[in-house]
Chains A and B, each alone.
Chain A
Amino acid sequence: MYNDKETVSRILSGNLHAFKLLVTHHEHMVNGMVRRLVQDREDVSDVSQEVFIKVYQHLRHFKFQSSLRTWIGRIAYTTAVNHLKKNAPRKQVQGIDYTLVQHEEDEASRKSTAAFLQAEIAKLPEQYRLVLTLYHLNEFSYEEIGQITGMPEGTVKNYLFRARKLLKERLEKYNHLL
C-alpha cells in the first residue's frame, strides 16, 4: 500500500526506486494538469519529466505542511506556466494552422457532445482550464487549488463559476444546432 510519508523517507535515504513509485502514483494528476495547460502534445512529456525532477531535487525541503499531492501540484503548475511563458513567442512565430484546428474541432463537435465540450475547454483561457482540471479531474478542493495556483479562494470559485457558465452556454447553443 502506497504511503506518502514512508515513500518520501525512503527517497530521502537514497532509494531511487521509491521515487519511481512516487512518480507512478502522482503522474496521472501531473499529466492531467500539464496536458490541459500546455496542450502541445510534444511538450507534455518533457514538462511532466521536468516537474518530477524538480520534485526530486526539492523533496528534502518538503515538510508535510500541505499534502504531498498539493505540493507536487504546485510544482506542476509553476513549471507548466513557466513553460508557456518561455515558449509563447516561439509558438507564435511558428504559427498554428487554425483552419486545420477549426476543421478538426468541427469534425469532433459533430461526433459527440463530449468531443465538443473538450474542444470548447481547450479554447478557454488558461486559468479557467486550470481550475476546471484541478477541481473536476484531479478532485482538489477550492483551498488546495488556491495553494497550488497562489490564487485567493474567492478567485478560484469565481473562475470556476465563470468557466462552467461559459461552457454551459456553449453547450446550450450546440444542443440547439443539433
Chain B
Amino acid sequence: MNDNLDEELQHLMEQHFKKTNVQESLPDHPDARLYESLFRELADDSFLPEQSSVADKVFVKLEHDIEKKEAFRYRLYIVLVIMAGALFAGLAITLVGPDIPALTIVWKMIQMPVLVFIATAFCITYLFGKMVAGNGVKHAR
C-alpha cells in the first residue's frame, strides 16, 4: 500500500468526519472502509475508563490551602502585633523613666534582637506566601 493513497484517504476522512454540513463522499475501496471504521472508533471515548469528576477534589484542596495560608498569616500578624506592642511599651518606659538603670539595661538588651526578629518575621511572611502559592501541586497529589 503506498503512502499517497493513505494520505488521500485520511484527508477524505478528515473532511467527512468534520462537524460541517458539507461532507465528502467516500470512495468504495477496502482501505476507505477500514479508515472509516478507524475514524469512528478514534472519536469514541466510551472505551476509556470512566473518571470521577476532579472538580470537587480540586475545589476542596484549593479551599484548604487558602484557609491554611490565611490562618498562618493571622497567627503571624498576632505575633507581630504583640512584638510591636512590647517594643513600643519598652520605648515608652525608656522615655518616661530614663533614670531607671535596670530598665535601660533591659531595653538595650532586647532592642536589637527584637528588631532582628521583626525583620525575620516579615521575611518569613513573604516567603511563606510564595511557598504556599507554589506548594498546591504537592498537596494535591
B-binding residues in A (CB < 8 A): 16-17, 19-20, 23-24, 27, 30-32, 35-36, 41, 44-46, 48-50, 52-54, 56-57, 113-115, 117-118, 121, 132, 136-137, 161, 164-165, 167-169, 171-172, 175
Contact = CB atoms under 8 A, between A and B. Distances in A.
Nearest to A169: B1
Please tell me the size bucket of the interface on B: 35 or more
Contacts, number: 111
B61 interface: yes
A82 B54 CA distance: 20
From DSSP, what is the main secondary structure of chain B's interface residues?
helix
Instruction: Please give me the 5 A-B residue pairs with the lowest Cβ-Cβ distance, nearest first.
Output: A136-B42, A23-B55, A118-B47, A53-B136, A49-B140
A14 to B, nearest CB: 9
Interface of B: 1, 3, 6-7, 10, 31, 34-35, 37-39, 41-45, 47-49, 51-59, 61-63, 66, 133-134, 136-137, 139-141
A56 B136 contact: yes
B58 A23 contact: yes
A56 to B, nearest CB: 6
18 contacts: A16-B66, A23-B54, A23-B55, A24-B55, A32-B45, A36-B48, A45-B52, A48-B51, A49-B57, A49-B140, A53-B61, A56-B62, A114-B41, A136-B39, A136-B42, A137-B45, A167-B42, A168-B6
B35 A168 contact: yes
Contact of B10 (A30, A36, A50, A161): A161
